[in-house]
């Protein structure tokens, strides 16, 4: 277990802020020992929560051309047939994974292939499970074309708490299934749009492990 690179700055800021608050408490209200103790305990819990959020566990990725892997840790909140309106403009099976602040927030490529489209959209910060979050929130759309010419859309969506989406690929890049696509800070959602003939392997409310749980299989 290591700390993800996206967490370094946040952890340093957290240490400085919490350290300043505790020093000020000791200097100003040291006569109220129970209050300073409460501040110290709450500071410690907050630091551990943020440290836990930025953890980067070692993952053993088992790659397969037919398997579509979960792009994130979290819970499946949507499995439905819908129209992908931004790029493909055709009918797809959408699977959405909600990540709570307690989940690992690394996002991974569900399939290997070539990045044929990439676009970042600034936007609102509706709660991640809101129906309009996929079209109105801050988000990034990534399209991956696999070796068989099948196109997959992965959409990172910021939530009410998440205020920064980080993505690593560039258009035209060749990417590997299970490698890091990006990171979303503090609560968010990832949508995957699959071909209609994909055989779904997960259920609503099922927990997923990014890079390991098989969402679906291609025929």
Average pLDDT over residues 35-52: 84
CA-angle at 87, arms to 133 and 175, nearest 5°: 95
Give 142 or 26, the one with higher predicted confidence: 142
Does residue 33 carry a pLDDT above 80? no
pLDDT band at 125 (very low <50, low <70, confident <90, very high): low
Q: Give me the residues paired with residue 115 across strands.
A: 144
Domain boundaries defined on the chain: 2-56, 67-217
Report pLDDT for 37.
86
pLDDT band at 68 (very low <50, low <70, confident <90, very high): very high
Q: Which of 43, 96, 134, 188 is catalytic?
A: 188
| CA dist., res. 168 & res. 212, Å (int) | 20
Does residue 126 carry a pLDDT above 80? no
Q: CA–CA distance from 135 to each of 1, 50, 121, 128, 157 (Å)?
A: 35, 28, 9, 11, 9
**pLDDT over 70 percentage in the chain:** 90
- Residue that the structure tokens 């103790």 belong to: 37
**pLDDT over 90 percentage in the chain:** 51
Residue whose C-alpha is closest to residue 92's, from 159, 143, 130, 156 = 143
The two three-digit tokens of residue 10, written as one number: 């946040």
Report pLDDT for 149.
93
Whether 139 and 160 have beta carbons less than 8 Å apart is answered as no
Average pLDDT over residues 139-143: 93
* Start-to-end C-alpha separation, the chain: 36
Report pLDDT for 155.
94
Report pLDDT for 69.
97
Average pLDDT over residues 62-71: 94
3-state SS assignment for residue 181: strand
- Quote the mean pLDDT of the chain: 87
Any catalytic annotation for residue 188? yes
Give 163 or 216, the one with higher predicted confidence: 216
CATH 1.10.10.10 fits 67-217, yes or no: no
């Amino acid at each position: 277990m290591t700390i993800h690179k996206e967490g370094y700055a946040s952890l340093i800021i957290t240490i400085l802020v919490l350290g300043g608050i505790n020093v000020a408490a000791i200097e100003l209200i040291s006569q109220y020992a129970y209050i300073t103790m409460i501040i110290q305990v709450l500071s410690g819990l907050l630091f551990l929560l943020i440290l836990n959020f930025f953890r980067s566990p070692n993952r053993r990725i088992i790659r397969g051309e037919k398997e579509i892997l979960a792009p994130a840790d979290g819970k499946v909140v949507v499995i439905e047939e819908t129209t992908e309106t931004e790029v493909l403009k055709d009918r797809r099976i959408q699977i959405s994974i909600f990540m709570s602040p307690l989940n690992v927030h690394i996002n991974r490529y569900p399939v290997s292939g070539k990045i044929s489209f990439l676009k970042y959209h600034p936007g609102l910060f509706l709660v991640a499970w809101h129906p309009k979050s996929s079209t109105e929130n801050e988000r990034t759309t990534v399209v991956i074309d696999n070796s068989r010419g099948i196109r997959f859309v992965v959409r990172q969506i910021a939530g009410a708490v998440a205020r920064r989406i980080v993505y690593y690929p560039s258009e035209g890049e060749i990417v590997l299934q299970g490698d890091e696509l990006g990171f979303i800070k503090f609560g968010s959602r990832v949508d995957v749009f699959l071909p209609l003939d994909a055989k779904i392997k997960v259920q609503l409310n099922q927990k997923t492990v990014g890079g390991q749980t098989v969402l679906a299989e291609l025929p």
